[in-house]
Structure 1
Amino acid sequence: MNPTGYPQGHALLIGVANYQKVSRLPAAILNDVNDVAAMLASPHHCAYTPANVVTLLDANATRAAVLKGLDELAARVGPDDTACVFFSGHGAVVGSPSNGDSVLVTVDSDLADIKNTCISSDEFAAALEQIKAGRLLVFIDACHAGGAAISKTLTDGKGHEFKSGYSQNAFTRLAAGRGRALMASCRADEVSAVFTGARNSVFTTALLAGLRGAADKSASGLIRVFDLFNYVSEEVPKLIPDDQHPIFKADNLEVNFAVALSQGGKKSTWSTEATSTAHKEDPWSVLEGALIELYPFGPRDQEVWSRAGGDLSRLQNHSTGQAAWHAALRTLKHGGGGGSINFRNLLKIAKEDFSNHPQLSMLQVP
């Protein structure tokens, strides 16, 4: 990972508060998009290249513009990139709540012709499928209460009414595919809260704190997808107990992939005593301890085993990352692990990912 930037990061952020034909939403919706965009582009935090962070707000978030934005995102990312899509605004369920379609309501949507003026879950999923980034994370905050009233219906004042939000089936559809994940602000039967006078919604308040570094509890210098969701899912109920619970969907996600840098790539500070101790310990034990901390989900985490020349099919499955690393390194020590993997190659890859980690830097090839 580049400690001075995350140029492989790309984002499209969409926010609509001032709808043309549907009830408006609080200004916090627009703040959410602007603040997440600023966090992603900040060299002191997520460190995306600013030109790679695109926002569509209000009048610029038409149906055509959103679909074009998704196409342009797909055109500029490749398999080594990370892509984020963030939507905050109205969502609506068309048909029965249990198996009906869900739509994103853009600024120009007309509830009298909802199927032709909104973006259906099928259209949205098809657009996401064209994004060939190796890692794609979708954020959906689409079940806001209209205005100041707590309402779970979306109306235009002309007799057209739909259930507000997004269905569980739609969330699952949008998360389909290898390396894909979705994070939504609340369950399908809940409302995404915005406190009166607050700059941001409850969900985005927690998300921003996570991206600011709170989700990087091991101070690894990276914000990882599972860690980010774990943080947000723990913090939102603290802000609004029992009323809102973020959800996470992924059907083919094998690794705790990096979403961005944390605090510009800042890693943990290790004491001189701990560093010098690494000289005295068995190098295999030191490496194992470092790998367990830096890749907590095991040899599949960040594809480190494969990148070091190993073959994952040669390893047994284990219930925890710690057990997986212990078994994998025992296998490696006896000449197994497949391919061209060895202590030197594994240490080299780990050092490339965490170049400032003192214990790794002090290790010598046995």
Structure 2
Amino acid sequence: MKPTIYPQGHALLIGVANYQQVTNLPAAILNDARDVAATLTSPDYCGYESVNVVTLLDGQATRAAVLNGLAELATRAGTDDTACVFFSGHGAIVGDVGAEDSVLVTVDTNLADMERTSISSDEFAHALAQIKAKRVLVFIDACHAGGASVSKTLTDGRGHQFKSGYTSNTFVKLAIGSGRALIASCRADEVSAVFPGARNSVFTTALLAGLRGAADKSGSGFIRLFDLFNYVAEDVPKHIPDDQHPVFKADNVEANFAIALSQGGKKSAVATSSVGSSGSQQDPWAALESALVELYPLGPRDQEIWSRAGGDLSRLEFHSTGQAAWHSALRKLKQGGGGRSITFAALLNTSLEDFANHSTLTVIRAP
């Protein structure tokens, strides 16, 4: 039996705690990036393939390496994929009062030469714009403060000093574009807290719980954009009342799109109640179409599901969206087309080989 995976998921995770020339951060920052990577690649949680998840920690996270990582992400993430970028580390506010902007502070940032050694919001936004994926989600966990000691400045011990954090207009800039969204750990005038001795920051603790299934309250088998932010936004203030509020920015996002599997793609009984224990309460063709659109969002070509079930892709019409492609393909199959060997049962059984724990598939009965 093949493991359940989410092959369209791609991610770049960056964590910097030990800076070369700037005030260091708690070790939890490195755990944040490591644990998000482990959760994304776990077959029991999000199902991303390991080769699609790149992590840059401390000395690996130079300005050049981060920009290269973003460029590489743009190269491998296709149009119908999902791309996530996670950064845990310092941000710095630059520019004159009234025209302030922000930069991402990499491990080799020199406060005496910010323009050439950090990543400006314009550079970051431009790099994100090169990603072809229709679904791009950016996570920013900065600036950080441990316990009651809150530092809102970056210093290098040589007289150079900047206010730490990100401006609101930077958040907006990073979310520009169709299908682009940003989730930040706190508002521009707040700090992202790390409790003394905690493995992760408060924000990333909530994010990890959400990705591990807590955000999938309907038991759909997927972690979705709005659901994830709603969970994080409700959970963080429980631990930091009145002082930390996660931020959501999106320029042109209409759909509550899936970004990962939830608990390996398992659906709950609640989510499948409309199908019924025997599958008789819903038309089996409609139930199968709904499941296939979720599991193979690119359409019948996704993971070669149609061909593996005995179908002939050349018999299918081209459609611009996976949902339209599935609707057309199943209509053709119902009429006896789509290839000599493919049947409803063959398509259902091949899907079950990929997603054995998917509750909707397991209760569908061939007509």
What does 1:93-172 correspond to in 2, within 5 Å? 93-96=93-96, 98-145=98-145, 149-172=149-172
Query: 1:91·1:104 contact (CA, 8 Å) conserved in 2?
Result: yes
Query: 1:283·1:363 contact (CA, 8 Å) conserved in 2?
Result: no
List per-residue Cα deviations over 1:124-179 (Å, max 9, x = no partner): 01111111112110001121137973021222222222111111101101000111
Q: CA deviation at 1:197?
A: 0.6
Letter aligned with residue 219 of structure 2? A
Q: TM-score, normalised by structure 2?
A: 0.78
What does 1:50-89 correspond to in 2, within 5 Å? 50-89=50-89
List per-residue Cα deviations over 1:210-231 (Å, max 9, x = no partner): 0010001111110011110000
Provide the residue aligned with 2:25 in structure 1: 25
Query: 1:63·1:108 contact (CA, 8 Å) conserved in 2?
Result: yes
Q: CA deviation at 1:360?
A: 8.0
In the alignment, structure 1 residue 361 sits paired with structure 2 residue 349: no
How many pairs are equivalent? 322
What does 1:217-228 correspond to in 2, within 5 Å? 217-228=217-228
In structure 1, distance between residues paired with 2:106 and 2:190? 21
Sort the Cα spacing of 1:274 and 1:13 in 2 relative to 1 into closer, same or farther, 3 A: closer
Provide the secondary structure at the position in 1 that maps to 2:177: coil
RMSD: 3.4
In structure 2, distance between residues paired with 1:67 and 1:283? 49
Query: What percent of counterpart residues are identical?
Result: 66
Letter aligned with residue 185 of structure 1? S
Provide the residue aligned with 1:11 in structure 2: 11
Provide the residue aligned with 2:313 in structure 1: none
In structure 1, distance between residues paired with 2:10 and 2:320? 26
In structure 1, distance between residues paired with 2:359 and 2:324? 23
Provide the residue aligned with 1:321 in structure 2: none
Provide the residue aligned with 1:251 in structure 2: 251
In structure 1, distance between residues paired with 2:199 and 2:174? 28
List per-residue Cα deviations over 1:278-301 (Å, max 9, x = no partner): 63x6859x969x97xx99xxxxxx
Letter aligned with residue 261 of structure 1? L
Provide the residue aligned with 1:209 in structure 2: 209
Q: TM-score, normalised by structure 1?
A: 0.78
Q: CA deviation at 1:114?
A: 1.1
Provide the residue aligned with 1:309 in structure 2: 324
What does 1:191-210 correspond to in 2, within 5 Å? 191-210=191-210
Sort the Cα spacing of 1:53 and 1:278 in 2 relative to 1 into closer, same or farther, 3 A: closer
Letter aligned with residue 47 of structure 1? G
Query: 1:275·1:358 contact (CA, 8 Å) conserved in 2?
Result: no
Provide the secondary structure at the position in 2 that maps to 1:20: coil
Sort the Cα spacing of 1:272 and 1:155 in 2 relative to 1 into closer, same or farther, 3 A: closer
Letter aligned with residue 226 of structure 1? F
Compare 220-229 and 96-105 and name the one that shifted more: 96-105
Compare 141-150 and 187-196 and name the one that shifted more: 141-150
Sort the Cα spacing of 1:18 and 1:217 in 2 relative to 1 into closer, same or farther, 3 A: same
Query: 1:46·1:260 contact (CA, 8 Å) conserved in 2?
Result: yes
Give structure 2 stretches of 5+ with no counterpart. 295-318, 335-343
Query: 1:155·1:161 contact (CA, 8 Å) conserved in 2?
Result: yes
Q: CA deviation at 1:95?
A: 1.7
In structure 2, distance between residues paired with 1:275 and 1:191? 48
Query: 2:15·2:33 contact (CA, 8 Å) conserved in 1?
Result: yes
